[in-house]
Amino acid sequence: MIMGERVSEAGTDYVSQLEKAGERFESRTARREETRRTIESRGVLYADDPDRVAKRLARLNADWSLARSIEQTPTEPATSTGSTLPLAPETFGADVLGLERLMGRNNLTGVAFLEGGFRAARSIGRVTVAGPAGGFHGTGFMVSPSLLMTNNHVLRSPEEAGHAVVEFNFQAGLDGLPLTPVAFALEPQRFFATDRDLDFSVVAVAERSQQGTPLADFGRLPLDGAQGKAILGEFVNIVQHPNGEPKQLALRENQIIDLLDQFIHYETDTAPGSSGSPVFNDQWEVVALHHSAVPKTDGDGHLLAIDGTVWRRGMDEHRLAWKANEGVRISRVLEALSRLTLTAGPARLRDELIKPPTQGAPRPDEGVPRPDEGLPRATPAVGPESNGFPSNGSVRLVSHGAAGTTLPLRITVDVDVPTSAPPAPGHPAADASSTGTTATALPQAAQADGRATADAADRDLHAALRNLRLGAERVYYDRDADRAARDAYYAGIDGSADGDTLRRTLTELLERTHERRPSYKPARLLYPWVDLHPDRLLRSVYSGKTFTAEELIRADAATEAARLRGVQEFLLRESTAGPAEVSEELGALEASLPYNCEHVVPQSWFDHKEPMRGDLHHLFACEPECNSYRGSIPYMDFPDFDEAVKKDCGMREPGGFEPEHSRGAVARATLYFLLRYPRLVGDTADEFPQARLPVLLDWHANEAVDEYESHRNAAIAELQGNRNPLIDHPEWARHIDFSGVWP
């Protein structure tokens, strides 16, 4: 970064960053080595926190079922579709390829990757800071229509920024000849914010260059504070101006090896990144702000140069001997910026950075030419939205400071499948579709949200049907493999221990191994694979009626579309509704438009909270009629059940419900829930009183575990990590002391 041999304050700051990065790196050696061993032995999907991995998969529009299919597919050359999976061309998509690349199974990528890199690079420029004793360079990138981000040690103050420029197009063209750089003055008097601890600065840029070129020509890189952009073991890309040289690209050479609260570490065998560069994932989302190499040191802690001598202050950073790179997590930068208390113009500029480009805001590539300009293409997906906050003048951000802020209400509706999916005959969504509400009847903002949601819906439907096709290629149930997995899972569990000890031990095991916690989307996982019977059909858990998986996938699609229309109508009708009113409306829509899925432990008993809501062990396919018929009534056994007049779903009285089918399966699922979530349900008479435990134990004893339940258990173990002990060891049911599971 530093030009010349002077020892400047900027150089001192940079050395301080190097030393701190080195200390952080050394303190994490044991954790880092453990991560490396996990990546080498098990793969990228097991190196990071399961919740982070789940969010990364969701961001790629992939499920754990797809990940497992890729893992279980022998390594082989990519097919004509670009995938190692046996998928037909019409089922192949960017999600498959992206996941294969993430897992190191496929080095191919779609050509859109190159286009994305071309567009992202346009927003990155060389920052030059002039001074009486010389100057120095760094890298910066546009993060809003007006604001540039770089390191604090590149731009430490408004005064320093006032003597700096950013140059775009400082690079070679397709013919190898230099392009003409376009320089823009920085305008810290309009906006300047900095944080020394997080090593970032954000500054306003002039709207036009001295030659009159508009800044908008170079686009922006929208920042997203949501998790899931990258995980341990993933490779990232850095676009930079190393040592002030023309723009260069380090493509998939840096592997993330450690994740700290505020920083990430990534290693490469090529060259360190340049100060102020954006660090991208393969989808060209900004993951981090590069700010330092992790230097090599001698026994006395002195920084070393590449020739083995001591590196001196004022020497160029490219002469450092280094062993890793460090970046600042972009989510932490956004959090710090959000804490600024600003007003008027600076507040509006900061809000343009915090808020992503939704509802008609500029695209990340606005003003940037595209290789496919003029060709039809899908609307880009819109990421999760963060809220902006007010701000004031050229403000220096104090590290770790906080200011009280009032957030505006923001509602996000998650849609599983597209509105074009037809309702199944007789499904409640078929009636709801007659409301007459169409996109053309909504205001412009609502239409924009609807289009973005429809895109997400299309991806969800594609993923659900793809999971169904993947399941068709798999062995339904491998008894020998499942027995081996079962024995390994319960290794160390003493089934002859006293009943209370056994219960406590199993509860700890179930919670500890519940590594992956899918959200409640039965169309994605339950219907395509988990709940299939040996004939590859779904059966309603209460009535026994059969359905194809695709029937229920598309029926849930129509349900979700009807829910979305209801939410849009409500928000248009009740524009001042608060969180409580919106939550109540969402609950009413869900109750009136249920999925084809039953929670054997009703959602109302645990306030619709996760991970209980999405726990696959107690979810079963069930048509809405039976779902509504049972409601939230606890199970009971009717002595005259066989002679009683009852519906196909079973028999119901105000105090209890007995299903027509699957009593053993629902009993084991309920017992699992009581073990996994002790003291959570059963504290009221209309939930599950302890006196009804014998009902579950009798149903369990009278209906043995079959291949269907064994398949479910094995499939859920793959997806979630934990198993149902009542399926694996039916003999434990009478021995476990369940008395401790009630509040």
Q: Is the pLDDT of residue 63 over 90?
A: no
Could you tell me the end-to-end alpha-carbon distance of the chain, in angstroms, rounded to an integer? Answer: 62
pLDDT of residue 79: 66
Percent of the chain with pLDDT over 90: 54
Domain-embedded: residue 648:
yes
Is 246 a residue whose pLDDT tops 50?
A: yes
pLDDT at 76 over 90: no
| Segment among 228-237, 279-288, 678-687 with least mean pLDDT | 678-687
Q: Which of 693, 426, 393 shows the shortest CA–CA distance to 555?
A: 426
At a CB cut-off of 8 Å and minimum separation 6, what does 257 contact?
Answer: 32, 35, 36, 232, 233, 265, 266, 267, 324
Distance CA 199, CA 197 (A): 5
* Domain count for the chain: 1
Identify the pLDDT of residue 445: 39
Tell me what the mean pLDDT of segment 385-413 comes to.
32
Q: State the average pLDDT over residues 393-405.
A: 33
Lowest mean pLDDT among 359-363, 509-513, 543-547, 625-629: 359-363
Which pLDDT score is estimated for 575?
A: 81
- 734 has pLDDT over 50: yes
**Confidence label for 78 from pLDDT (cuts 50, 70 and 90):** low
pLDDT of 358 over the 60 cut: no
- DSSP 8-state secondary structure symbol assigned to residue 417: S
pLDDT of residue 252: 79
Q: Per-residue pLDDT averaged across 426-441, rounded? A: 32
Q: In the structure, what pLDDT confidence band is assigned to residue 10 with cuts at 50, 70 and 90?
A: low
Q: Is residue 719 part of a domain?
A: yes
For every residue of 658-694, which 3-state class applies, written as one string?
EECCCHHHHHHHHHHHHHHCCCCCCCCCCCCCHHHHH
Q: What's the chain's average pLDDT?
A: 82
Question: In this predicted structure, what is the pLDDT of residue 454?
Answer: 59
| Lowest-confidence pick of 1-5, 521-525, 726-730 | 1-5
Q: What is the pLDDT of residue 642?
A: 56
CB 124 within 8 Å of CB 278: yes
Weakest mean pLDDT among 558-567, 587-596, 665-674: 558-567
Q: Is residue 227 part of a domain?
A: no
Residue at 617 is within a domain: yes
Which positions ≥6 away from 44 have C-beta within 8 Å? 102, 103, 104, 231, 232, 233, 234
Mean of the pLDDT values across residues 214-222? 96
DSSP element (H, E) containing 289: strand 286-295
Binning pLDDT at 50, 70 and 90, where does residue 271 land?
Answer: low
- Expressed as residue numbers, the domain containing 654 is 470-549+592-741
Summarize pLDDT for 450-484 with one digit per residue, the tens. Answer: 555 556 667 788 889 989 998 998 899 999 999 99
pLDDT at residue 455, rounded to an integer: 63
Closest CA to 570 of 437, 465, 712: 437
680-708 confidence digits (pLDDT tens): 998 787 888 899 999 999 999 999 999 99
Instruction: Map residue 656 onto helix, strand or coil.
Output: strand
